[in-house]
Amino acid sequence: MTRGTILRRTIATPLILSALLVAIAVLAFAVGSRPFNQTVIDLFLMVIFVVGLQVFVGNSGVISFGHIAFACLGGYVAAWTTIKPVLKSAAMPGLPDWLMGLEIPFWAAAIAGALWAALWAGLFGAILMRLSGIAASIATFAMLAMVNAIYSNWTSVTAATSSVVGIPILRTTWPYLAAAVIAIFIAWAYAISRHGLALRAARDEPTAAAASGVNIPRARFIAFVLSGAVMGMGGALYAHSIGLVTPDTYYLGLTFTTLSMLVVGGMGSLSGAVLGVVILSALIQGLRWLEAGVQIGNSTFALPGGVQEIGLGVVMILILMFRPAGIMGNSELSLPRRRRGGAENPGQTGPNT
Amino acid sequence: MASLLQVLFDALSLGSLYALGALGIALIFGVMRLVNFAHGDVIAFSLFALLWPSTDAVAIVFAGNLPWFLLIPFTLAIGAGLSVLSELVVFRRFRRANPATMMIASFALGFVIRYFLLMLFTSRPKSIALLPALSQPVEILGARIPLLQLITILVTLAVLIGLTLFLRRTRFGLEMRAAAENFTMARMLGVRANRVIMGAFALSGALAAASALILGSQTGTANIMMGANVMLMAFIATVIGGMGSLAGAVLAGFLLGAIATVMQVILPPDARAFRDAFVYGAVILVLIFRPQGLLSARGAKERV
């Protein structure tokens, strides 16, 4: 099979997913309510995070608990480069002079965040990608805790655990939509590249892949750096969506939310990653709405705080029990094919010959 | 000399805490290849079970007022009970799942437990006075050691000896070791799988409760996140120790405690806040040179 055929057969997936996101953005624009707008922004950010996570976890099969650390790196890059110098010198006096005077637009900060995160993903990845299975997962957890410990204590540069405020807030959905679409196309392009194919082969049959000449640590390393970059971009934009950063914004809570979205959708599938975000965001929003209280007749009915997270956890356990491969499994959303209709795995590129 | 002794006791008591946690995680990993992320939340739950649900900053101590000879068994029973319950309700259905799926399920379960506690107690840390008699210092060879530290070390040693005897001398212990070595083979030879797994969960839960008592009386606060740090160190200890090797887990737990305490002493004051980051970094270094851990269990190697 040539590259052209793979491209033509799979291009429908990112296009459908992007169209879905555009439809959501247009809906938010048409409704015009500010809380709904914010919800949609959150959804796009989660798409970036979960797609970034999927690039590594989905293709390599190694669960990573540490990717939110890269979002943290990206988020602080946004704080370092976009806050007004006056505010910056008060909150983070330890920054070098050239960084102190810098004030760049958000998109440049997102790119800088991606590059900074990719750099650290490269450094960590060079070490961690030698491990596999559970040892690798726990080492990524150690990486998350390490980054959190550093950013929570390095007072002069990160203001320790107190929040760094003054990051310019972006309230329109379009930049987030653009970034989410870019993330989807990056993930797709990686998945059909030779590195992506090699890594998936190593995920399914490590011995056979190694015997066919796949350098597994190297293949994992490439995916790790790429997904780190996507997470860094997401982290920087996340900082712009709420206007502040703290180390604990990017810690266990976000790790759990993004992992559950990925697992619910289906780790092995890009469509699963996006659908998982959409479905769980709707669920979370519904539960939040109930927590805030609903008027039924004369009485207000409200669930106690914490129900949202409990609900999320329970849904995740149930999905793992009954559909361990997630909603999408390993398949992708795709247009029905004209010839040879009803292939059992639409979107799969089939055996390479 | 006195300060050296102080450092030694600090290292041993911190190491004890990590070793107890690591043992709780390694026990379950040994019998069913589950990395139990809910362990830290079982620790928090066991401590909060002693309090009455409230949103105040000062805890309303409820069962915690029991005399110590009732308090300790009560807490251990709570921990063991919750752990067994999680096996019955959740993990039993994941027997055939791959380790990654189980790991994420336990992550989700831990989240559910934590937010259940948050719902009842809010996320604010609560101050509690648990076994206050233990905070008095005792003098040994000129060093003033908190009595609690001494008890922590002694209790851990007692638990380790007890567990070793249990695993080596009783039939149940034998079955558990056999199951950890080769689960399928053990089942074929007539070991009852469910009983062994349930036993491992009960023991692990009781160990979590013991950690909870030690942590609670050491810090004087109850916090729904209190288990997270110990659990993370315990994970790392089990990985460094060689997944599934109980002796390795204990050894690595003490090693981590020693590294953390020594770093606290030798690092320059500016860098002390980053102690944990240095410990995690050291862990990653160990993993480069011995990816299978210090004492690798026989069943843990990947087979082709």
Contacts of A211 in chain B (CB under 8 A): none
pLDDT at A52 (0 to 100): 97
d(C-alpha B174, C-alpha A216), whole Å: 39
Supply the DSSP symbol for B273: G
Is residue A217 within 8 Å of A128, Cβ to Cβ? Answer: no
Contact B108 A132 (CB under 8 A): no
Query: For residues B177 and B196, what is the distance between their CA atoms, to the nearest angstrom?
Result: 9
Domain span at B25: 17-227
Q: Using one digit for the tens of pLDDT, what is the confidence trace for A23-74?
A: 999 999 998 888 889 999 999 999 999 999 999 999 999 989 999 999 999 9
In this prediction, residue A338 carries a pLDDT of 58
Query: Does residue B257 belong to any structural domain of this protein?
Result: no
Phi, psi for residue B137 in degrees, rounded to 5 = -85, 150
Contact A131 B104 (CB under 8 A): no
Distances (CA, A) of A342 to A98, A334, B289: 60, 12, 50
Mutate to test the interface with B, among A254, A309, A322 (most CBs of B within 10 A): A309
The stretches in chain A having pLDDT less than 70 are 1, 337-353
Q: What is the DSSP string of A156-218?
A: HHH-TTS-EE-PPP---SHHHHHHHHHHHHHHHHHHHSHHHHHHHHHHH-HHHHHHTT--HHH
B105–A317 CB contact, under 8 Å? yes
- Residue A165 and residue A34 in contact, taking contact as beta carbons nearer than 8 Å: no
Please determine, for residue B267, whether its predicted confidence score (pLDDT) is greater than 60.
Answer: yes
pLDDT (mean) for B138-145: 74
Query: Quick one: CA dihedral A142, A269, A8, A204, positive or negative?
Result: positive
Query: Each residue of A254-288: pLDDT tens digit?
Result: 998 898 889 888 888 999 999 999 998 998 888 88
Q: Which amino acid is at A177?
A: L
Instruction: Check residues A247 and B128 and name the one with the higher pLDDT.
Output: A247
Any domain includes B300: no
Whether B68 and B131 have beta carbons less than 8 Å apart is answered as yes
Minimal CA separation from B22 to chain A, in Å:
13
Q: A320–B97: do the CB atoms touch at under 8 Å?
A: yes
Chain A positions touching B284 (Cβ under 8 A) are 127-128, 139, 142-143
- CA–CA dist B26, B29 (Å, integer): 5
Residue of B84 and A287 predicted with greater confidence: B84
Residue-range definition of the domain harbouring residue A199: 3-258
Q: Do B291 and A131 touch (CB under 8 A)?
A: yes
User: At residue B59, does pLDDT exceed 70?
Assistant: no
- On the question of pLDDT at B182 being above 80, the answer is no
Per-residue DSSP letters for B107-138?
Answer: HHHHHHHHHHHHHHH-SS-EE---SGGGGSEE
pTM for the whole structure: 0.85
- Please report residues of A whose CB lies closer than 8 A to that of B291: 130-131, 135
Shortest Cα distance from A351 to chain B (angstroms)? 23
Share of chain B above pLDDT 70, in %: 90
Q: Which residue do the tokens 């206050």 mark? A: B132
Residues B123-136: what's their mean pLDDT?
Answer: 75
Is A312 part of a structural domain of the chain?
A: no
Q: What is the DSSP letter of A333?
A: -
Per-residue pLDDT tens digits for B15-31: 999 999 999 998 898 88
Decide if B236 and A324 are in contact by the 8 Å CB cutoff.
Answer: no
Predicted confidence (pLDDT) at residue B207 exceeds the cutoff of 90: yes
Q: Which of A211, A126, A122, A129 is nearest to B291 (CA)?
A: A129
Q: Is the pLDDT of residue B304 over 50?
A: no
Compare all CA atoms of chain B with the CA of A142 and give the residue at the minimum distance. Answer: B280
Helix ranges, chain A (H) = 3-10, 12-31, 34-60, 68-82, 85-91, 97-100, 106-128, 133-153, 155-158, 174-192, 194-204, 206-211, 216-242, 252-265, 270-292, 307-322
Which residue from A minimizes the CA distance to B118?
Answer: A306
Instruction: Summarize chain A as % helix, strand, coil (round to 5).
Output: 70, 5, 25
Backbone angles phi, psi at B86, to 5 degrees: -65, -30
Q: What is the pLDDT of residue B64?
A: 65
- With 0-12 / 13-18 / 19 or more C-beta atoms within 10 angstroms meaning exposed / middle / buried, residue A190 is buried
Number of domains in chain B: 1
Considering the domain boundaries, does residue B45 fall inside one?
yes
Q: Residue length, chain B?
A: 304
Query: From B112, which residue of chain A is nearest by alpha-carbon distance?
Result: A310
Radius of gyration of chain A (CA): 21
Give a yes or no: residue A348 inside a domain.
Answer: no
CA distances from B163 to B154, B253, B279, B283 (A): 14, 16, 28, 27
Q: And the tokens for A202?
A: 């190593």
CA dihedral A183, A259, A271, A173 (to 10 degrees): -50
Mean pLDDT of chain B: 84
Q: Which position has the higher pLDDT, B8 or B183?
A: B8
A295: β partners: A300
Q: Residue B86 is encoded by which pair of tokens?
A: 């999680």
DSSP-assigned beta bridge partners for residue A245: A164
Number of structural domains chain A divides into: 1
- C-alpha angle with apex A329: A324 to A331, nearest 5 degrees? 175
- Does ipTM surpass 0.90 in this model? no
pLDDT at A342: 43
Res A347: pLDDT: 44
- Asked if residue B286 is part of any domain, the answer here is no
Strands B126-127 and B221-222: antiparallel
Task: Count Cβ atoms below 10 Å from residue A337 Cβ, excluding itself.
Answer: 13
d(CA A27, CA A37): 9
CA distance B42 to B114: 9
Chain B interface mutation, best of A134, A144, A155, A321, highest count of B Cβ atoms under 10 Å? A134
Name chain A contacts of B281, Cβ cutoff 8 Å.
146
User: Is the residue at B274 inside a domain?
Assistant: no
| Cβ–Cβ under 8 Å, residues A184 and A274 | yes
> What's the whole-number mean pLDDT along residues B98-114?
86
